Amino acid sequence: MFEDAISIQNIFTLKNILIYLIIINLIGFFMMWSDKRKAKLGKWRIPEQTLFIVTAIGGGIGTIAGMYTFRHKTKKLKFTIGLPVLVILEIILIIYLKFI
């Protein structure tokens, strides 16, 4: 039991958190590119809920960057307001948890 606690601490290192954030943001960016491409080709699309989930689990910078880079979903208030709000709420939550 004590060994499990030590190994969990070793997982949540700054290095691992940064690697996770880089990967999830690259995924978010790629998903926006992919969905825009699929929209142009009239193919099956990535569900909007999936884009929001990726944003909510730490991929906000990537999805927002992808949204504006590829001019995808920029006319939908749900995205232009919703994605930044999610990122702001995540930052507030992290600050709250860090200092509580």
pLDDT in tens, 38-93: 999 999 999 999 999 999 999 999 999 999 999 999 999 999 999 999 999 999 99
Residues 40 and 19: their CA atoms lie apart, in Å, by: 32
Number of domains observed in the structure of the chain: 1
Give the sign of the dihedral formed by CA 15, CA 17, CA 18, CA 24. Answer: positive
Give the range of the structural domain holding residue 90, as residue numbers without chain letter. 24-99
Per-residue pLDDT for 98 more than 90? no
Residue 92 contacts by C-beta under 8 Å, 6 or more apart in sequence? none
Q: What is the pTM of this model?
A: 0.86
Which amino acid is located at 43 in the chain? K
Instruction: Kindly tell me the burial class for residue 30, based on how many C-beta atoms sit within 10 Å of its own C-beta (0-12, 13-18, 19 or more).
Output: middle
Q: Domain for residue 16, yes or no? A: no
Q: What angle do CA 37, 61, 15 make, to 5 degrees?
A: 120
Residues 38 and 60: their CA atoms lie apart, in Å, by: 21
Q: Domain for residue 30, yes or no? A: yes
Which amino acid is located at 45 in the chain? R
Whole-number pLDDT of residue 29 = 98
